[in-house]
Structure 1
Amino acid sequence: MNLINVNHLTLGYEHQKVIKDLSFTVEKGDFITIIGANGSGKSTLVKGLLGLIKPMQGDIQYHIDTKQIGYMPQETKIDATFPASVEEIVLSGTLNRLGHRPFYGKKERKLADDSLALLDILDLKKKSFADLSGGQRQKVLLSRALSATRELLILDEPSNNLDFSSREEFYKIIHRLNKEEGITILMITHDLDMHAIAGNKIIAFEDQEIFVGKIEDYRRKMHESL
């Protein structure tokens, strides 16, 4: 089942084209890794998929309610005085489910608890987000995205600022969500270690070209270029 079709997409800002004539399909159950140097177009593509910028040419066809697209931004530095608890952060992921209701209900609170439990961090529920380690914060932000949807997640460099062991653990969690929970994932990563380039498909921004295809084909291409 196709969730998103990207057709001959050109994206950019004002008169500057960043991505030109890109086409690919996101199918249910996909794990698509997006790699490339800074400024290559990775973040621009995500903004396009989230509807934050309009295509210059081509189009994006959604066969999924866009409310079912969850987004996990890059982890940013949090002020030590930031008062939000882990529960409040994760609950904020359910805002699109409230409709006209002004307050979270039992359903949203259970969903937040389930999202925390899925990542084995329910014990952090009452902790201050600002007091957590980098790895714990990333899990909380992922839990927030899971509270928004269990259909499709877009992860923007989720391993940023994590040490090796935390990064490895986080990748295992993402793989489990994809394989066991059936969640479709698009993950941007700056980690070019072939071990980290995971999933079944890849979009690689390389100089003036964009490789779109299967992971094994990309690995073969990289091996042949050595």
Structure 2
Amino acid sequence: MAIIECKNVTLGYDGLVAVSDLNFSVEEQDYFCIIGDNGTGKSTLLKALLGLKRVSSGSIVLGDGLRRNQIGYLAQQTEVQKEFPASVREVILSGCMNKRGLRPFYSAADKKRVEAAMETLSISRLKGKCYKELSGGQQQRVLLARALCAAERLLVLDEPTTGLDPQMTTEFFSFIRQMNAEQGIAVIMVTHDTHCAVKYSKHILHLLENDAFFGTTEEYIDSELGKKYIGGHRHD
């Protein structure tokens, strides 16, 4: 069953149309990658899916009981955020904020969730360190752990491997696929890495300047567009 359905959606910014008449759906436990050249509206679409941007026309519907507070979001990191002076544990704990509601303090369950996220991402040893003193790869793991604490049914990632070396990029995609398979959390990821998207995802949305492709990864590989961008080969 679809947890998000996008119907005839048009999006714009600064008076320009970024995405026009777009239709697709994201299924429960999906691994959904959004790819495309710069300026085709990938991040704009992601913000619309999160309810952070209004659509110009059409509709984006959350289905199967999905609620906004069940979605974890890892945005592109800014230079200012890289210098954030909090501890690793404090950064990750802030991912539980939406679940806290009106409670003034984090619960024991929140703190347990943080410990589990750190364990999953192998960063427990870093929990007392200052976030700004970490390497780029370590910071990305911390931010992913924070997003995991917020995610109950859906994890949304915007260019999460930017700045990572090829080995770390491969490890990141592999970890997301493992988490998707073992925990059943659906994933929507904007990425510039077409080959990793093809290797790991279940569905692909490829945005073009005046068009879009949406389908299974196998359908994308067999399409003329897929053959143009990745040569029609999937590497497992």
Length-normalised TM-score, structure 2 = 0.89
Establish whether residue 57 from structure 1 lines up as the match of residue 57 from structure 2.
Answer: yes
Determine which of 97, 100, 122 is the counterpart of 1:98: 100
Partner residue in 1 for 2:183: 181
What SS does structure 1 have at the residue aligned with 2:201? Answer: coil
AA of the residue aligned to 1:119: L
Query: 5+ unaligned residues in a row in structure 2: which ranges?
Result: 232-236
Structure 1 residue 14: Cα displacement: 5.7
Partner residue in 2 for 1:133: 135
Distance, in Å, in 2 between the alignment partners of 1:110 and 1:13 is 41
AA of the residue aligned to 2:31: F
Determine which of 112, 123, 135 is the counterpart of 1:121: 123
Distance, in Å, in 1 between the alignment partners of 2:58 and 2:163 is 35
Identity over the aligned pairs, expressed in percent? 42
Determine which of 121, 141, 144 is the counterpart of 1:142: 144
Query: 5+ unaligned residues in a row in structure 1: which ranges?
Result: none
Distance, in Å, in 2 between the alignment partners of 1:11 and 1:127 is 41
AA of the residue aligned to 1:223: K
Structure 1 residue 81: Cα displacement: 5.9
Between 1:27-36 and 1:204-213, the stretch displaced more is: 204-213
Length-normalised TM-score, structure 1 = 0.93
Partner residue in 2 for 1:223: 227
Distance, in Å, in 2 between the alignment partners of 1:168 and 1:44 is 25
Alignment of 1:76-91 (within 5 A): 76-78=78-80, 82-91=84-93
Distance, in Å, in 2 between the alignment partners of 1:149 and 1:15 is 33
What SS does structure 2 have at the residue aligned with 1:153? Answer: strand
Structure 1 residue 206: Cα displacement: 2.1
> Is the contact between residue 75 and residue 160 of structure 1 (CA under 8 Å) also seen in structure 2?
no
Partner residue in 1 for 2:68: 66
Query: Which of the two has greater helix per residue?
Result: 2
Determine which of 152, 159, 162 is the counterpart of 2:161: 159
What SS does structure 2 have at the residue aligned with 1:208? Answer: coil
Count how many residue pairs are aligned between Structure 1 and Structure 2. Answer: 225
> Is the contact between residue 35 and residue 203 of structure 1 (CA under 8 Å) also seen in structure 2?
yes
Go from structure 1 to structure 2 and tell me whether the alpha carbon gap of 1:77 and 1:176 turns closer, same or farther (over 3 Å shift): same
